[in-house]
Amino acid sequence: MSEDSANLEDASRSSELCRQAEEQLRSGQAQAALQSYHAVLGSDAGHAGALMGLAQLALSEGDRTAATVLLQKCIEANKELAEPWYRLGVLQWADGQAPAAHDAFTRAVALEPDLARAWLKLGTVRLSLQDNGRAAEAFQQALLLEPKLRVADQDARLPESIRSEIRRANQVLRQHYTSMLEQTLVRTRVHFPGQDLGRLEGAFRVLRGAEAKRYCHPLQRPAFLLFPDMPARPWFEREEFDWVARVEAATPRIRAELNGLLAERAGFQPYIRGVAPGKDAISYSGEDFSSLANSRSWNSFHLNNAGVIKENAARCPETMSVLDSLPLAHARDYMPEIFFSVLQPGAHIIPHYGQMNIRLTVHLGLIIPENCGLRAGEETRHWQEGRLLIFDDSFEHEAWNRGSSDRVVLIFETWNPALSEAEIAGLQDFFETRGEWMARFRKNATAAG
């Protein structure tokens, strides 16, 4: 047997023994689990699973010193792993060693930036060290990575200690957002004296958790921002906008550029991408997009994604010229999103909600086979080549292609016409302030390692 084959066999045997030990632990066979873990270490002295398993056993027996030594040995042998740092931090935090725990959690998130529970713990430790500003940054990162944490404090299945920690995180973030939003209102009043900002104030009260969301339609559930007292309209008509004719007249030029992109087949990517294998693609509002994660059944070619993608935009000058003449919705880190959307035969974009009711989503039909449709709210409409469909995506919506060839539309966003100039300015100020803060704390997070 070659050396590589022998190593693979040893690794497989170690993994199987670790799985066996975990099962033994779950069934209360601590001594058997101990023997299994030691058997693993007999052939691989630095095996992470075995060392962390033995640390767990030591903790269950009250030997915190042994658990600490085992976790430190695991860290030394597995320098790329975040998990042993996280577990060491939990142990140190429970023992009242806040500075050491801070270091451990910082190292964990440096090694694995998507580890939401480590960010949550890091925020808790920072709060105890009276570093409230950076605690808010860590809590925000945890909630961005794991949106379900926003309501997890109500989950009776979780231990009260964890629920209390989540409540504290949400409270800190509410305080931070309250300050941020109050500053936005002050600046907006200065720039628009005498303007009625009652709806903007109401939106901000909901955003910071001071007021419950009051939906005006059973199928409308914007997950992030609910602007109050807006018309309950899933669909808008082409005749309501003076720029519609300009866009539709440009269809041949836009279609020509699309044909060039399709011929090259370069630059198109799954719309939902970057999801690790085996991970759920859960949206902000809780829908599970796993069926579309990393799938070519829904492809996109982005020209703008809250910022112009220069190399893509350069390939579509006619399209960009038309779009640049429109009153697109602009908000830092959120809008506009402009892309060619390709839905393959048999593809179905599941029912879901957009994040905000302050914008409208616009589709220009470019390649439309039969048996394709888009439902928003309770009404289904069908694309036509060279014509626009305009809807509020904060209403439940879904799309499908039951035809025999690809469906392609150009998608962009514009402001909901029910908003005033002052309200739009206030919203843009908020997104800019929030974006500056997030850019700062993400820079801090990158530097954490």
Q: Give, for all 449 residues of the chain, the pLDDT tens digit.
A: 444 444 444 556 777 877 877 777 777 777 887 888 888 888 888 999 889 989 998 998 899 999 999 999 999 999 999 999 999 999 999 999 999 999 999 999 999 999 999 999 999 999 999 999 899 999 999 988 888 888 888 888 888 988 999 999 999 998 999 999 999 999 999 999 999 999 999 999 998 888 999 998 999 999 889 999 999 999 999 999 999 999 999 999 999 999 999 999 888 999 877 655 555 555 555 566 666 776 888 999 999 999 999 999 999 999 999 999 999 999 999 999 999 999 999 999 999 999 999 999 999 999 999 999 999 999 999 999 999 999 999 999 999 999 999 999 999 999 999 999 999 999 999 999 999 988 876 665 555 54
Assign domain 235-418 to its CATH superfamily: B-lactam Antibiotic, Isopenicillin N Synthase; Chain (2.60.120.330)
Q: Angle at Cα 436 formed by Cα 434 and Cα 442, nearest 5°?
A: 100
Topology classification of domain 1-81: 1.25.40
> Which tokens go with 92?
């140190």
Q: What's the confidence (pLDDT) of residue 281?
A: 59
pLDDT for residue 151 = 81
Q: What is the pLDDT of residue 5?
A: 43
- Looking at residue 282, its pLDDT comes to 57
Question: What pTM did the predictor assign?
Answer: 0.79
Exposure of 309 by Cβ count < 10 A (0-12 exposed, 13-18 middle, 19+ buried)?
middle
Q: Tell me if 340 sits within 8 A of 258, measured CB to CB.
A: yes
At residue 7, the pLDDT reads: 45
Domain boundaries, the chain: 1-81, 235-418
pLDDT at 341: 97
Half-sphere exposure of residue 374: CA atoms within 13 angstroms, side-chain side: 24
Smallest Cα–Cα separation from 314: which of 303, 301, 326?
A: 303
Identical topology for domains 1-81 and 235-418: no
| 188 closest CA partner among 205, 359, 180, 228 | 180
